[in-house]
């Protein structure tokens, strides 16, 4: 999921460089949404693993 956020961020930067403001804005918005969903799922996963008592695999 974090990979998709980075892809949309790169698309937004490239679109902004070429002057496509609408596409750049939309890609930035999508990247933000995906990034915050990633953060929420990460926190939920960490809490669930802490409750179960499992140590994270490195």
Please report whether residue 58 resides in a domain: no
pLDDT classification of 5: cutoffs 50, 70, 90: confident
pLDDT classification of 52: cutoffs 50, 70, 90: confident
Q: What is the pLDDT of residues 7-44, one digit of tens each?
A: 888 898 899 898 888 888 888 898 899 999 999 999 99
* pTM of structure: 0.72
Please report whether residue 56 resides in a domain: no
Q: Are 28 and 13 in contact (CB under 8 A)?
A: no
pLDDT value of residue 38: 92
Please report whether residue 15 resides in a domain: yes
Please report whether residue 57 resides in a domain: no
Reading the block at residue 34, the tokens are 């995906």
Please report whether residue 11 resides in a domain: yes
Instruction: Give the domain range for residue 43.
Output: 2-51
pLDDT value of residue 4: 85
Find where tokens 């070429």 sit.
18
Q: Which of 32, 7, 12, 35 is nearest to 22 (CA)?
A: 12
């Amino acid at each position: 999921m974090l990979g998709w956020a980075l892809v949309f961020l790169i698309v937004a930067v490239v679109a902004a460089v070429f002057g496509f403001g609408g596409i750049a804005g939309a890609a930035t918005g999508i990247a933000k949404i995906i990034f915050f969903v990633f953060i929420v799922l990460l926190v939920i996963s960490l809490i669930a693993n802490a409750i179960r008592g499992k140590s994270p695999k490195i």
